[in-house]
Amino acid sequence: MADGAPATPDPALLALREKIDAVDRELLDLVNRRAALAQEVGELKKKEGSVVFRPEREAQVIEGLKQLNGGPLRSESVAPIWREIMSACRSLETPTRVAYLGPAGTFSEQAALGYFGSSIVPVPCTSIDEVFRTTTAGAADFGVVPVENSTEGVVARSLDLFLTTPLFIIGETSLFVRHNLLRKDNSLEDIQAVCAHPQALAQCHGWLSTHLPHAERRPVSSNAEGARLAALDTRLAAVASERAGSEYGLHIVAPAIQDDAHNRTRFAIVTHPDRHPAPQASGHDCTSLVVSVVNKPGAVHDMLVPLKENGVSMSRFESRPARSGQWEYYFYIDLQGHPQQPNMASALRDLRAVCAYFKLLGTYPLDVH
């Protein structure tokens, strides 16, 4: 072969590429057939007045496909692929407006896209409070809010807002959180301040103390906002996602600086009960509630008895001060199951009877990975 002449493609490789192209055309045809059926479903739903998005239905579809998957496609790849297909089909029926903590590049945005797919109308907000306000007012159909981190525990502001707003939970998703130190200059030298959401600063406390002990830790509304500020000032660095670094043209000076290598954040999908019904049982559900009891001996024990007597398992139990000045607390509880199950219905009824305050925050399918 002469120097500079293009290499002759391997005939076997060309044959395989032709087969892949043929399969791609078949896939496109099948996806369009699915989209046409989804449009027919949408027309029926309009006549019935029912909602377009059914989280329990989508969870069941994905779980069923994972069970049928014979490989070599990995089962964990099934969910993101089908979420995108369902998102694109759903967008043909009606646009889905989703509020989340912005700007572009936040983990909240990543969670929203991972749960709903990319065929949504994004509604970035400047704070968690604004996500709740926007969704309550109807400017967004759904909101995505962080509720718990595997390193730092609960996101207190989200839990407090569940008490004062009518929104309820219809879904959940969790995200592996990889924090990176981002900067305009590709160096750790002369960094005066590190900007990030307070949770991110806390999740990277050890690394920052070791490598940037003299730099100010400056809390901002979101990690992406920190990245935006770092893009404007070479004396600043940010703790944020790789996506935020690309969005604002920053170098990854140090990757994966979170103290916990398995750091994850759990997000709740919220909506207004007047605009969306509670999901039906999917077979793998979580029921979240917040309660309080009279401050007397044995009150917390009495609160847990109905769960034991009805065989209901508890997967989370968190307390938050009631801010009444009387050393009273709200308890945030996650239970395994759905109120349509007789034992869960009985447990909730008995629990309500012994509580001074009782609010069902939502029943929803467990996260499908």
Task: Please give the Cα distance from 189 to 253 (Å, whole number).
Answer: 10
Task: Please give the Cα distance from 347 to 16 (Å, whole number).
Answer: 58
Query: Given 3-state DSSP classes, what are the helix, strand and coil percentages for the chain, each rounded to the nearest 5?
Result: 40, 25, 35
Task: Please give the Cα distance from 165 to 167 (Å, whole number).
Answer: 6
DSSP 326-361: SS-EEEEEEEES-TTSHHHHHHHHHHHHH-SEEEEE
Strand duo 251-254 + 180-183: pairing: antiparallel
Residue type, 35: A
| 96 Rama sector, left if φ>0, alpha if ψ -120 to 50, beta otherwise | beta
DSSP state of 320: E
Selection from 106, 94, 99, 121 nearest residue 272 by Cα:
99
Q: Hey, which residues are catalytic here? A: 265, 267
Q: Phi, psi at residue 98, to the nearest 5°?
A: -125, 120
Which structure tokens are listed for 324?
A: 């009444």
For the stretch 242-262, what's the b/e string if a residue is b when 16 or more beta carbons lie within 10 angstroms of its beta carbon?
bbbbebbebbbbbeebbbeee
